[in-house]
Amino acid sequence: MITFDGVTKRYADGTVAVDNLSLEAASGTITVFVGPSGCGKTTSLRMINRMIDATQGRILLDGQDVKQIEPSTLRRGIGYVIQQAGLFPHRRIVDNIATVPYLLGWDRKKARARAMELLERVGLDAKLARRYPFQLSGGQQQRVGVARALAADPPVLLMDEPFSAVDPIVRMSLQEELLRLQSELHKTIVFVTHDIDEAVKLGDTVAVFRVGGHLAQFSDPATLLSEPADDFVREFLGRDRGIRRLSFIPAAGVELSPPPPELVLEDGKPVGWKSDDGLQPYGSFNPGTDSLRAALDASLLSANGIAVAVDGDGKVLGVLAREALDGAISGGPGAARG
């Protein structure tokens, strides 16, 4: 567990970057720091591994004040991932990943074996091990950065806007990869972002900061979206926070109807909606794994507003009429059950 106990960071010119911050990042969970530029979220993150020291208050790592730990020792026990990976350009990928094990005195064979294991764990081909960072895409470099942070199996992982420099599609895949890894590894992760969608998707808990380093709200994502603490948080979440909240309501149990003849299938999988002008687009969702937000997206993508429900193999289970979807969203007739 990481505990901030009345932590303030004040610079020599009087600027207060973080003001009396108190919160707990629970062990084995992802805590996200989010807020506008200049709100102190990155400063707060960097005080955990003493890249910046607090002016007042204490930061406790499993009950021990981090100021009682020699900085280099502290940092070797904490994984750190930054924007654009920060890889050593002159080192091959395998040796980039093995950086901390080398510092800890592991022999070369053991360190490289660990690096190869992690390369696979973060979804990269083993053939990339002999390449240099410039030979990898931005998304691949970020995965290497995550692997490097995990190399010595630290219990704590700090991530400072690690996915902000890649395109939206790669960013989404990296987010999914992080959630997959966390489901296996159960690290204590503190993640900094300025993107509220990313915060809500990744965080078990979310800390919203306002300018001046003040903590505006600290809660789980569903509570944050349904019960914003004040006007600042409400405005920061945006006017579509109600739609975001649907991400936390499972689509399991929505009232499905048999697929009508207008839905063209091939091998049981949807192809499109039949019309006089040819096939029209459809949207699909998996009620077993997806949320009501995914069902709503599927409805909006379909030319006729009817979402197509499919199983894990992409085969049609039925369709979700707009009336049934509206009922599920509002909790009225036809609402999702279970």
- pLDDT, tens only, 8-43: 999 999 899 999 999 999 999 999 999 998 899 999
287 close to 311: Cβ distance less than 8 angstroms:
no
pLDDT on residue 278: 87
Does the pLDDT of residue 216 top 80, yes or no? yes
Average pLDDT over residues 228-254: 86
Q: What are the extents of the domains in the chain?
A: 2-247, 263-330
| pLDDT (0 to 100) of residue 328 | 84
| pLDDT-derived band at 268, boundaries 50, 70, 90 | very high
Judge residue 224's burial from the number of C-beta atoms within 10 Å of its C-beta, 0-12 exposed, 13-18 middle, 19 or more buried: buried
What CATH number matches the domain at 263-330, 3.30.9.10, 3.90.700.10, 3.10.580.10, 3.40.50.1110?
3.10.580.10
Written as one letter, the residue type at 20 is N
Task: Give the lowest-confidence range in 22-31, 81-90, 227-236.
Answer: 81-90
- 333 pLDDT higher than 50: no
Segment 311-315 mean pLDDT: 93
Say if CB 261 and CB 275 are below 8 A apart. Answer: no
CATH architecture of 2-247: 3-Layer(aba) Sandwich (3.40)
The whole-angstrom distance between residue 314's C-alpha and the CA centroid of its chain comes to: 26
Mean pLDDT over 83-95 rounds to 86
pLDDT at 103: 84
Cross-strand partners of 208: 34, 217
pLDDT category, 86, cuts 50, 70, 90? Answer: confident
Confidence of residue 159 (pLDDT cuts 50, 70, 90): very high
More confident site: 28 or 169: 28
